Amino acid sequence: MKQTDVLVLGGLSGITAGISCRRHFPDKKVTLVRKEGTVLIPCGIPYIYGTVGGPQNNVVPDGLLESNGIELIKDEAVEVDRAKKVVTLKGGETISYDKLVFATGSVPLIPPIPGVDKKNVFPVKKEFDYLGKVLDGMKSVKNLVIIGGGFIGVEFADECRKGRDITVTVVEALPRCLQMAMDDEFCAEAETKLTEAGVKILVNSKVEAITGGDSVSGVRLADGTELKADMVILGIGAVPNTELAKKSGLELGYRNTIKVDRYMQSYNDPDVFACGDCAEKPSFFTGRPIGVMLASIATSEARIAGSNLYSMTHQNCGTVSVFSTMINGRAFGVAGLTERLAKSNAMRYVIGTAESPDTHPGGMPNSCLTKVKLIFAKDTGVILGGSISGGKSVGEMTNVLSACIMHRMTADDIVQFQMGTHPALTSSPIAYPIVTAACKALLPMRTK
Ligand SMILES: Cc1cc2nc3c(=O)[nH]c(=O)nc-3n(C[C@H](O)[C@H](O)[C@H](O)COP(=O)(O)OP(=O)(O)OC[C@H]3O[C@@H](n4cnc5c(N)ncnc54)[C@H](O)[C@@H]3O)c2cc1C
């Protein structure tokens, strides 16, 4: 039997947990068992079908493991005996561990739609060979239907139109694409960009059946509309991959995620930790578990888990939920609560908005208008969330908002924010939109 101090099961967050463990406990032997031969950059998957050109250009290099002294075993863990602290692999090998980290991630949600198992209907799996086959299959496609207008759906739609003269239709059940993630005004902007890219959008539309023989030939909507389709992509979300954890007797919580505490330690075994999509996540704002699954959260949790394996040092403050995307050249980002979420949580809030070019003067080449919307708690002035659209700087500006939220800054704090500015790189210091939006929220906040 093979022996290791720390055994990690997983890919993206597994690598991060392993590296974190080696950084904090360099004398520990870390072994990573991974089902997939190659780890894809999950967020880059839609770009395989356009910008990056293939799965081979979208991988996390295994060299990261080697350079951090982590042993990699490409196999699937099929049994965990927690009493004996032994994991059995599909290939028959057994490994004894001192500490075990579950980072087994998530798998795509397959909706119970008639016809969903037809040829050329593809859930978005994070698998190298599979995604390569989808890319090959796309060569002969004329009509692509994407079910789901969330991040995955709209990014796929935008990318699949690039360099292909095909009809791409996004079918979304809610009144807006990206509605779960953004407020209406940003959804509307995103939909406009998507339409300008030649994508057809059908909102308020439920898919009733995927039609055809062996292979898909169409999609029927609940209102009777028939769409032609020779390929369907399912972009409606993911579910945690926790069958093995369940089989090993670990307690599962919200939506079948592994129950963990703030140290990422499992509830019912002090030697088992979990991180990433397979682990339960408390909201930063309410402490209640939430269903957000993001690579950025997964890796943050993995760093915490890795650092706590032999001494409890870091705590998970909860999921702020920060993400960004790019649609037909325009970037969108959200950190924390949207106005929709603040409303649904019955919070008393105040909004501040601002717009400014992301260069100064605005006439600089490639200048882009940035729109910022900030949400503050009315009674305390603490920032609850922010949404931004604009150029590439939106990605890092959204991350700045996350830092403000995590440190519970108030509108008054943000008004005094000292930013660095440069004509080619940022908005003007007179009109820096995060600061302006905070300034504009102050008066309504003080008006009782
Ligand atoms: C198309 C797409 C786009 C996305 N875009 C973004 C984005 O822009 N930003 C963002 O933050 N997030 C994005 N996400 C979400 C992100 O991909 C996930 O949150 C992230 O992959 C979670 O990482 P993880 O390590 O927890 O799980 P996973 O990435 O699911 O990895 C789990 C790994 O565990 C392995 N495994 C599972 N079971 C076993 C076993 N029994 N034995 C051994 N190995 C096992 C799997 O093979 C896999 O390699 C996107 C997701 C998709 C699908």
Please give the distance, rounded to the nearest whole angstrom, from the Cα atom of residue 431 to the centre of ligand 1.
39
Which residue CA neighbors atom 30 of ligand 1 most closely? Answer: 105
Per residue in 377-403, pLDDT (tens digit) is 999 999 999 999 999 999 999 999 999
Protein residue with least CA distance to atom 50, ligand 1:
43
Q: Residue range 108-133: average pLDDT?
A: 96
Residues with beta carbon inside 6 Å of ligand 1? 9-14, 33-36, 39, 42-43, 45-46, 76-77, 103-106, 124, 126, 152, 241, 244, 276-277, 293-296, 298, 323
Q: Please give the distance, rounded to the nearest whole angstrom, from the Cα atom of residue 295 to the centre of ligand 1.
A: 7
pLDDT reading at 446 higher than 90: no
Per-residue model confidence (pLDDT) at position 32: 98
pLDDT score for 137 = 95
Percent of the chain with pLDDT over 70: 100
Here the tokens at position 333 are 């980002």
Which residue did the predictor score with more confidence, 376 or 39? Answer: 376
pLDDT value for 132: 97
Supply the pLDDT for residue 314: 97
Residue type at 346 in one-letter notation? A
* Ligand 1: nearest atom to the Cα of 324: 8
Say whether pLDDT at 189 is over 80. yes
Q: Percent of the chain scored above 90 by pLDDT?
A: 98
pLDDT of residue 447: 77
Mean pLDDT of the chain: 97
The minimum-distance atom of ligand 1 relative to the CA of 279 is: 26
Q: Are 109 and 239 in contact (CB under 8 A)?
A: yes
Residue 86 pLDDT exceeds 70: yes
For 335-372, the pLDDT digits (tens) are: 999 999 999 999 999 999 999 999 999 999 999 999 99
pLDDT at position 341 is 96
Nearest atom (ligand 1) to Cα of 13:
25
- One-letter-per-residue 3-state SS of the chain: CEECCEEEEECHHHHHHHHHHHHHCCCCCEEEEECCCCEECHHHHHHHHCCCCCHHHCEECCHHHHHCCEEEEECCEEEEECCCCEEEECCCCEEECCEEEEECCEEECCCCCCCCCCECEEECCCCHHHHHHHHHHHHHCCEEEEECCCHHHHHHHHHHHCCCCCEEEEECCCCCCCCCCCCHHHHHHHHHHHHHCCEEEECCCCEEEEEECCEEEEEEECCCCEEECCEEEECCCEEECCHHHHHCCCCECHHHCECECCCCEECCCCCEEECHHHECCEECCCCCECCCCCHHHHHHHHHHHHHHCCCCCCCCCCECCEEEEEECCEEEEEEECCHHHHHHCCCCEEEEEEEEECCCCCCCCCCCEEEEEEEEECCCCEEEEEEEEECCCHHHHHHHHHHHHHCCCEHHHHHCCCCCCCCCCCCCCCCCHHHHHHHHHHHHHHCC
Is the pLDDT at 448 greater than 90, yes or no?
A: no
**Ligand 1: centre distance to CA 241 (Å):** 10
pLDDT confidence tier of residue 54, bands split at 50, 70 and 90: very high
pTM value is: 0.96
Backbone φ, ψ for residue 178 (5° rounding): 60, 15
Q: What is the pLDDT of residues 290-333, one digit of tens each?
A: 999 999 999 999 999 999 999 999 999 999 999 999 999 999 99
- Residue 42 pLDDT level (bands cut at 50, 70, 90): very high
Ligand 1 centroid to residue 80 C-alpha, Å: 21
pLDDT at position 76 over 90 = yes
Nearest atom of ligand 1 to the alpha carbon of 42: 17
Residue whose CB lies within 8 A of the most ligand 1 atoms, among 31, 33, 34, for a mutation test: 34
